Amino acid sequence: MFATLSDRLADTFKNLRGKGRLSEADIDATAREIRIALLEADVALPVVKEFVGAVKERARSEEVSGALNPAQQIIKIVHEELVTILGGETRRLRYAKSGPTVIMLAGLQGAGKTTLAAKLALWLKDQDKTPMLVAADLQRPNAVQQLQVNGDRVGVPVFAPEPGNGTGNPVEVARASIEEAKRRLHDVVIIDTAGRLGVDQTLMQQAADIRDAVQPDEVLFVVDAMIGQDAVTTAQAFLDGVGYDGVVLTKLDGDARGGAALSIRSITGKPVMFASSGEKMTDFDLFHPDRMASRILDMGDMLTLIEQAEKAFDSEQALKAAEKLGTKGGFTLEDFLQQMMQIRKLGSMTKIMGMLPGMGQFRDQLENFDEREIDRIQAIIQSMTPAERENPKIIDGSRRARIAKGSGRQVSDVNQLVDRFFEARKMMESMARGGGMPGMPGMPGLPGGGKRAGAKQQAKKGKSKRVSGNPAKAAQQAAAQKAAAAERAANPFGNPEGADIDYEKAAEQLNLPKDFSKFLK
């Protein structure tokens, strides 16, 4: 969504690097580039003027002129101002003190209200609530049926006494739903109202009548983040006609420029509370202004990644895998497959990698990453026998041919997977012993991906060392090789004993951006 804005801002900040002090001309040039970047992203003009004015004022102050690194200070100022226009602090739902909490959804037709109602219901279930969906959109054909289907998908009951398709009284349906929720002991009621093709006064009045009938605790305005400047006009019209407490942004995974998200909060004064970023029912969460600002500036979003990992990963299974890594050869292909399946629960690999700091420079590679690679890995491993998964060293040429045929892949694919597994196991076992990273096995489809040619070269180097026929000498050689291997594992980056690790060099050896050095520390 914010790719264009992120790239433009990154180019702007590059021009400031290496400057010991910012001149008035530097500040004006930077402000001009930021203004162009925001306007290209469809941010409303009044918001752009306010934002650029605040950045220029702070850039001229002592906090920059007295700083050791003015470029970093400018980035810090832009980040803080982005957080401000996005709403500052995260706004959470207000729950009723007694009786069910009533949440009413309003917005234009096509914004994704009906799907979002189910996503919100699933999110509330995860918060230990018992929501009920209400089909009060009786205008759009099959809207009631769509909500019932979505309710079944997320396991939430739907109150739908009227078939819809232009018949029935939505105000009475909404009013009756409150009594039904009390009778069935639901603590949250989510009312899906009719969408509008435009600012329709008749349907706007209908939404106001539903609001007056049920007195909702929260009225949420659902807006398509891809509609650009029109989002602000529509948001203001709904604010005047119906009124709402917060905004929900849908389709944040689209390729539009995203200016709506940066404009609505400043124009209407109402916070963005939730964001929907995909087609899956789980692609929905609270909107965090500080995290969104960090994503725009390519600083990553590690907090969201950690939260998603905590939800997806089985801690007991992870503990068992960690114990296996403590013993040489204990980690098997079966464990490897289980770890891959847990990673899949996090969602799209492109999204996961995009949450890491500095990944903006790899955007092209991420966009071209084949999400089906995990499916291929799963097919190959599941085509192996239990013995082969337990001990991959027994997989010889004939076994590899059989596995390739069973998984519908090439023998070279099986070879690459087995080689990558051994590299990954070696790295993880070294880390489990506290020996640092001996090397980062590349992910398939990304720069640094495991290559069979490299494995062959290493194998040749290992074979070139001859073992003496004298048993005593052979034992000495083996002991020396073991000691050297232990030293390399404990000191993978070759720094003298007791000296500090050169983390920038470590990041370079691991095929990571230099900015990752601070995370290695």
The vertex-403 CA angle with 397 and 409, nearest 5°, equals: 105
CB 99 within 8 Å of CB 177: no
193 marked among binding-site residues: yes
251 marked among binding-site residues: yes
111 marked among binding-site residues: yes
Distance of CA 323 to the CA centre of its chain: 29
First-to-last alpha carbon distance for the chain, in angstroms, is: 31
Distance of CA 282 to CAs 45, 123, 178, 265, Å? 34, 8, 26, 25
How many CA atoms, within 13 angstroms, populate the side-chain half-sphere of residue 414? 27
DSSP state of 108: B
325 marked among binding-site residues: no
* Strands of the sheet with 158-159, listed across from one edge: 158-159, 131-135, 188-192, 101-107, 218-224, 246-250, 272-276, 284-286
113 marked among binding-site residues: yes
CB 104 within 8 Å of CB 210: yes
Helix and strand element counts for the chain (H, E): 25, 8
- Give me the residues paired with residue 274 across strands: 248, 286
- CA-nearest of 197, 186, 192, 198 to 210 is 192
d(CA 77, CA 59): 8
Contacts of 434 (CB under 8 A, 6+ apart): none
Torsion of CA 107, 110, 113, 115, to 10 degrees: -170
107 marked among binding-site residues: yes
250 marked among binding-site residues: yes
253 marked among binding-site residues: yes
Contacts of 41 (CB under 8 A, 6+ apart): 2, 4, 5, 8, 257, 258, 259, 262
240 marked among binding-site residues: no
Please, where are the H alpha helices in 278-407?
289-296, 302-312, 315-325, 333-345, 349-354, 363-367, 373-382, 386-390, 397-407
SS (H, E, C) 394-430: HCCHHHHHHHHHHHCCCHHHHHHHHHHHHHHHHHHHH
Q: Please compute Rg for the chain using Cα positions.
A: 28
d(CA 67, CA 21): 8
Binding-site sequence positions for GTP: 107-114, 192-196, 250-253
Binding-site sequence positions: 107-114, 192-196, 250-253
